[in-house]
Copies of this chain bind each other. A is one copy, B any other.
Amino acid sequence: MPATINDVATRAGVSTKTVSRVVNDEPGVSPTTRERVLEAVRETGYAPDPAARSLRTGRSQVIGLAVPELGQPFFAEIADRIAQAARSHDLGLVLGVTGEQGQGEADFLERNPGLDGTILYWQGLSAAHLSAEAARRPLVVIGEYDHDAVDRVTMDNERGITLALEHLLALGRERLAVIGLPEPGVRAHAAARRRTAALRDALTAHDLTLDERLLVPSAEWRRPDGARCARRLLDQAVPFDAILAFNDGLALGALAELRAAGVTVPDDVAVTGFDNLDASRYSFPSLTTVSPRLASYAAHAVDLLVARIEDPSRAPRTEVAGVTLMARDSTIGGGALWPSR
């Protein structure tokens, strides 16, 4: 009878988890322990066999993650955080890239039947199709669509937009521009719709209206789109003293375009973003932005999926990841925060 991981663990006097770490060449094991485990592996003739293990447990120990694209840092940073969270559960991860409109979502689920479960950044699948998929396999949805019949992680867009708006108002800004609103006739992604609704609610709560000419639509949210939106604001010569951008990509593009036009941030115009990309701490000026705390967002998603795998009949849950405002130079100026970052 072939040796098992338990035989190796017993002989080496360590946990099976430690044996697993050593044979999978993972970190977190001291050199002397590693050597002892490898000796026990040699002595017992143990051969780890993922296929055999998978047959035994009925699980692959691999989960899937499907995101729309990786060219936008937001999705890459989410994927990296989820890969880390999966690793902390001893789970492998395969990623799929499903396209900006989520064209490949059904395909990714179809083509990866061997996964223990999948986390899907939901962009294009119909709600009915999603429900059907979730009935067939463990599935957790991330992103900004509402769908209470499936485990789901979303972020607190309402609070995020409110924090950004109130921050600009507290600084005395009076002519607010907003960039990244849905474009008429173009399919808006869910985050655009959620943040637009959140903005309307926050304005109502403050009994405020904005100059319609300062509400700039953009279906895409990358840096060049932010530059284009800022250019439009500059060209139309309607005064503004702040830009609330619906994500950091837009805000970073706007910063570059304002600078090229000789507009000083934040003296002339204050700018806020949303997402807290790594790049935003290093922009000039550093970017004030809403942080969705991606590490806990990722942990929620993996925890929900693990719970779903272990109990397929549990009631679906929605986790709303909290947000915080990172106040940096693009609104409060001065560069004083830099050395203490």
The closest CB in chain B to the CB of A262 belongs to B335
A70 close to B96 (CB less than 8 A): no
Which residues of the other chain, B, contact A110 by a CB distance below 8 angstroms? 50
A76-B70, A260-B338, A279-B279 are known contacts. Are A50 and B95 too (CB-CB below 8 A)?
Answer: no
B104 close to A92 (CB less than 8 A): yes
Is A145 an interface position by the 8 A CB rule? Answer: no
**A interface residues with partner B (beta carbon < 8 Å):** 24-27, 50, 60, 62, 64, 69-71, 73, 75-77, 79-81, 83, 87, 92-97, 99, 101, 103-104, 106-108, 110-112, 114, 124, 222-223, 227, 252-253, 255-256, 259-260, 278-279, 281-284, 286, 335, 338-339
A71-B77, A73-B76 are known contacts. Are A93 and B92 too (CB-CB below 8 A)?
Answer: no
Minimum CB–CB distance for A58 against chain B, Å: 15
A25-B103, A279-B279 are known contacts. Are A70 and B60 too (CB-CB below 8 A)?
Answer: no
Bound together, the chains give a CA A284 to CA B110 distance in angstroms of: 45
A80 close to B97 (CB less than 8 A): yes
A256 close to B278 (CB less than 8 A): no
Bound together, the chains give a CA A24 to CA B50 distance in angstroms of: 32
Minimum CB–CB distance for A254 against chain B, Å: 10
B95 close to A97 (CB less than 8 A): yes
B83 close to A77 (CB less than 8 A): no
Select which of B50, B96, B222, B282 is within 8 A of A92 by beta carbon.
Answer: B96
Query: Contacts A69-B80, A87-B99 given; 7 further ones with Cβ under 8 A?
Result: A25-B107, A62-B111, A70-B83, A79-B97, A95-B96, A256-B286, A260-B339
A71 close to B278 (CB less than 8 A): yes
B92 close to A95 (CB less than 8 A): no
B111 close to A83 (CB less than 8 A): no
Minimum CB–CB distance for A276 against chain B, Å: 13
A259-B284, A260-B338 are known contacts. Are A24 and B70 too (CB-CB below 8 A)?
Answer: no
A96 close to B96 (CB less than 8 A): no
B70 close to A103 (CB less than 8 A): no
Which residues of the other chain, B, contact A79 by a CB distance below 8 angstroms? 70, 76, 97
A70 close to B62 (CB less than 8 A): no
Minimum CB–CB distance for A175 against chain B, Å: 24
A73-B76, A79-B70, A111-B60 are known contacts. Are A94 and B92 too (CB-CB below 8 A)?
Answer: no
